[in-house]
Amino acid sequence: MSRHLPRYLVQLLGTVIGVVTVTFFLMRAIPGDPALYMLGDYATSDSVAALRAKLGLDRPVIEQYLLFMQRAVTGDLGTSVVTGQAALTEILHSVPWSISLAVSGMAIAIAIGVPLGVISASRQGTWVDTAVMIVALGGISFPVFWIGLVAILGLSHWAGLFPTLGASSEKGLWTSLHHLALPALVLGVSVAAYIARLTRSAMLEVLSQDYIRVARALGVPERRILYRLALRNAMVPILAVISVTFAWSLGNAILVEVVFSRPGLGSTIMKAVLARDYQLVQAGLLLLATAVVLLNTTFDALYVVIDPRLRSR
């Protein structure tokens, strides 16, 4: 593990620099003058020029890029136009809300998706497999915001099980959990469908290996084959599935936050998009992409811990 650490760090650093670069050039694609945009139609030409100078927009693109890099390293991602606060502060402020949603959603998704995938792979071709796959196909095909709306309608409004909207304004663990439950469930179910499908194919892949056939031929009990041999060897692909879906579930989390009017990164970014607060959008994009990179690198390192075969590389 420690032998590989430098390699991971270099790789991580390279990708993060790449992420900052792509974000910079992507946001430069905005047509028009961000300074004029931020100040509105009644801005004097002096104040526009002043803001342009402050943002560095009057300099050559390469210089702007280097300045952006330099500021990003020191954690300065610009200022929110709407609140006047530092964009990073604004974004970090909403992170706890999103982490609680994303983590609980992912936990539900893994708890549902992985067992379903394993079960349906172990009974490939039976009605259990077919039923699970049909449900999972539905799960990946309905838009997550629609699932959210229907859940609000059915579970909150008709059944009265959950609060309809928002996060609790009052303090207290129980109320916040109560408000978190339905959004997390909606996110979890939609992501679980993906995980179940991918886990199934990862398991099928392992079950088709020669060593499984040999184990069967030797008369090893099926249960032991499944849990001791197949599942352990499928751990790496299943973890890969989880890391891939996590990045993807962030997009769903934005929509879930908006549907449930929950505060969080998604809502903050959405508000920034609608207010054309481009430095805030930029900061949010940068932070989420960096989080994904960190997570992927952590998973890459985990594979090595789990699978001794990868250590020799």
Partner 1 sequence: MSNDTSRPALEADPASLAKSPGRFAPLLSHPGLMTGAIVLVVLVIVAIGAPWLAPHSPLKTDLMAAFAPPSLTYPLGTDQFGRCVLSRLIWGSRVSLQVALSVVLLSLSVGTLIGAIAGYAGGWTERLLTALTDVLLAFPGFLLALAIVAARGSSLESIVLAVSVAYVPRVAVVMRAVVLTIKSRPFIEASHAIGMSHLRILFRHVIPNAMPPVIVIATVSAATAILAEAGLSFLGLGVQPPIPTWGNIISDGQTAIINHPLISVSAGLCIAVTVIALNLMGDGLRDTLDPQMRRQTGARMF
In the complex, the residues that contact partner 1 under the rule CB under 8 A are 14-15, 18-19, 21-22, 26-27, 29-31, 137-138, 140-146, 149-150, 152-153, 157, 194, 198, 201-202, 205, 237, 240-241, 244-245, 247-248, 250-252, 254-255, 258, 269-270, 273-274, 276, 278, 281-282, 284-285, 288-289, 292-293, 296
Closer residue to partner 1, CB minimum distance, 95 or 270:
270
Closer residue to partner 1, CB minimum distance, 158 or 174:
158
**Which residue blocks in the chain are alpha helix, DSSP H?**
5-27, 34-39, 45-55, 61-73, 87-122, 127-141, 144-151, 173-207, 210-217, 222-224, 231-259, 265-274, 278-306
Closer residue to partner 1, CB minimum distance, 104 or 190:
190
> What is the C-alpha separation between 34 and 30, in angstroms, rounded?
8
CB 105 within 8 A of CB 188: yes
Torsion, Cα 85 88 92 94, to 10 degrees, reads 60
Q: CB 203 → partner 1: shortest distance, Å?
A: 12
Q: CB 46 → partner 1: shortest distance, Å?
A: 27
Q: CB 173 → partner 1: shortest distance, Å?
A: 29
CB 97 within 8 A of CB 263: yes
Closer residue to partner 1, CB minimum distance, 143 or 166:
143
Helix axes 278-306, 231-259, angle to 10 degrees: 160
Q: CB 73 → partner 1: shortest distance, Å?
A: 17
Closer residue to partner 1, CB minimum distance, 112 or 133:
133
